[in-house]
Amino acid sequence: MSDIIRTRFAPSPTGFMHVGNLRTALYEYLIAKSMGGTFVLRIEDTDQERKVEGAVDIIYNTLRKAGLQHDEGPDIGGEYGPYVQSERKNMYLPYAKQLIDNDKAYYCFCTKERLDMLRENSDEPGAGYDRHCRDLPKEEVERLLAEGTPYVIRQKMPLSGTTTFEDAVFGSISVENAELQDQILIKADGYPTYNFANVIDDHTMNITHVVRGCEYLSSTPKYNLLYEAFGWEIPTYIHLPLIMGKNDDGTISKLSKRHGATGFEDLVAQGYLPEAIVNYIALLGWCPKDNREIFTLQELAENFSVDGISKSPAVFDYNKLEWFNGEYIKAMTDEQLAEVAEPYFRQAIKTKPLDFVKIAAILRQRTTVLSQIPEKIAFFEEQPDYDKELFVNKKSKTNLENSAVMLKEAISALQALSEWNHDTIHDCLMELAAHLEVKNGTVMWPVRIAASGMTVTPGGAVEILDILGREESLDRLNKGLAKLS
Ligand code: GLU
């Protein structure tokens, strides 16, 4: 095995990147980067029936958006290519034949009909293959092969004893060999199964650390028997805890669509920032030494360590993700927010040439998910029809009568401004309040209601007038005044 740490992300192109898969990719990346190693991308497409058009692009896009740049992979190549299993198809059969020669595997000629019948006649669900071809006489095997009988190649599991392996997270795990199925290594179509290909590829690609979901724990003894059969060094196994979702009744179960979006792209489409998602999922199963929460990818790589990974199930908490997202939005500059949120601005602002950076400034502290934006800013494009009762506000000491006075005064003061910007509007309205000897709120409230038509707005009267511009602002204030007269 090489001295340098080599990890691999080995997704199957299913057309969907579950947050659990992304977490696997992230941990592989972090383990490699935290130890100066190499992060490899390998596409596991041996299941030709499950192939999905465009699925590989989703993998590339996700890794790119998440910032997980691989060092070797199908698109950039590398010393250990090809990095797509279907392109490695011819590499696996010689290894399977080597196992047959060493009595660790065998040809199986059972027909689909026979296997179906076995399954139907079995009392135990999942009882599996009855090892019918395991001890066929050599001559019989040669005859069937010579006749061109279709076959698969199966692993010959030991019938007694135990297999034990160490997992960096789950510790020492032992299974009775008698419980292990004679699993298929090479399928009838000549493709290897995932179970075989992952071992051959991890070895031939010099992978030192295998990170994957704990659903693979039960298969790992079978992989170890393969490593042993070949006399190969076993990689470090790092199986990750399950990701659960909270049910309405307070219980938890495996994270699924009914808990909310589970795909990276879906979360992004809902207005979560890739950086926030990555930060949040880093903490789903890994705990930093100091309980810190906010980490850039670079900081994660500096702080990550395998011994911080927990084996207890992690609960995906959408509220917590939203909190992270809000923190990331707050930490942006107005310009950055205007840029990433532009599609959301455009959903609401279709005709008016408004300054998105100024709008971003009033949203930044108040937005936790980008998809909240269109609704919050729709009033800039079109003022909702509002009731004049909105002008009445106890705290600001406004009623229908004094609101009319305030609007009238504000209109004439604002009209006189030679320059229309945040500071001139601000000073103008403050001076007006002082001059009229009323609370600032007594001026600001009716101005904001007339400008927006809403009691709750991102930003105050000054920001809203500044964003709307002189003409639209005065027009709205005049309409408000008309409503009150
Ligand atoms: N292709 C497998 C999957 O997508 C990868 C499992 C592994 O990392 O070994 O689940």
Q: Is 104 noted as a catalytic residue in this protein?
A: no
Give the Cα separation of 221 and 177 in Å (integer).
9
Which CATH number goes with the domain that contains 339?
1.10.8
Q: Give yes or no: residues 420 and 367 share one domain.
A: no
Backbone angles phi, psi at 320, to 5 degrees: -70, -40
Ligand 1 centroid distance, CA of 437 (Å): 71
Strands laid side by side in the 184-186 sheet: 105-108, 152-155, 184-186
Q: Structural domain of residue 405, as residue ranges?
A: 383-484
Residue ending a domain, choose from 182, 217, 240: 240
Residue ending a domain, choose from 332, 363, 392: 332
In this structure, how many other beta carbons lie within 10 angstroms of the beta carbon of residue 162? 12
Give the Cα separation of 451 and 123 in Å (integer).
74
Q: Give yes or no: residues 215 and 310 share one domain.
A: no
Whether residue 38 is contained in a domain is answered as no
Give the Cα separation of 419 and 201 in Å (integer).
69
Q: How many residues does the chain have?
A: 485
pTM metric for this prediction: 0.92
Which CATH number goes with the domain that contains 192?
3.40.50.620
CB distance 13 to ligand 1 below 6 Å: no
Q: Which of 21, 27, 194 to mutate to test the pocket of ligand 1 (most atoms within 8 A of CB)?
A: 194
Whether residue 272 is contained in a domain is answered as yes
In terms of phi and psi (left: phi > 0; alpha: psi -120 to 50; beta: otherwise), the region of 126 is left
Give the Cα separation of 192 and 154 in Å (integer).
11
Whether residue 62 is contained in a domain is answered as no
Whether residue 220 is contained in a domain is answered as yes
Task: Look at the block and give the residue holding tokens 């399977």.
Answer: 96
Q: Give yes or no: residues 270 and 393 share one domain.
A: no
Q: Give yes or no: residues 316 and 225 share one domain.
A: no
Give the Cα separation of 117 and 134 in Å (integer).
18
Whether residue 84 is contained in a domain is answered as no
Q: How many domains does the chain have?
A: 4
Q: Give yes or no: residues 326 and 354 share one domain.
A: no
Residue ending a domain, choose from 240, 260, 282: 240
CB distance 212 to ligand 1 below 6 Å: yes
Of the candidates 257, 330, 352, 397, the residue annotated as catalytic is 257
Q: Give yes or no: residues 327 and 294 share one domain.
A: yes
Whether residue 68 is contained in a domain is answered as no
Whether residue 35 is contained in a domain is answered as no
Q: Give yes or no: residues 233 and 340 share one domain.
A: no
Whether residue 469 is contained in a domain is answered as yes
Q: Give yes or no: residues 440 and 393 share one domain.
A: yes
> Cis peptide leading into 82, omega within 30 of 0?
yes
Residues with Cβ within 8 Å of residue 236, at least 6 apart in sequence: 168, 208, 209, 210
User: Tens place of pLDDT for every residue, the chain, 485 residues?
Assistant: 557 999 999 999 998 999 999 999 999 999 999 999 999 999 999 887 777 889 999 999 999 999 999 999 999 999 999 999 999 999 999 999 999 999 999 999 999 999 988 888 887 766 689 999 999 999 999 999 999 999 999 999 999 999 999 999 999 999 999 999 999 999 999 999 999 999 999 999 999 999 999 999 999 999 999 999 999 999 999 999 999 999 999 999 999 999 999 999 999 999 999 999 999 999 999 999 898 999 999 999 999 999 999 999 999 999 999 999 999 999 999 999 999 999 999 999 999 999 999 999 999 999 999 999 999 999 999 999 999 999 999 999 999 999 999 999 999 999 999 999 999 999 999 999 999 999 999 999 999 999 999 999 999 999 999 999 999 999 999 999 999 99
CB distance 12 to ligand 1 below 6 Å: yes
Which CATH number goes with the domain that contains 305?
1.10.1160.10
Q: Give yes or no: residues 233 and 104 share one domain.
A: yes
Q: Give yes or no: residues 279 and 402 share one domain.
A: no
For residue 422, give both structure tokens: 């945040």
Q: Give yes or no: residues 364 and 451 share one domain.
A: no
Q: Give yes or no: residues 191 and 101 share one domain.
A: yes
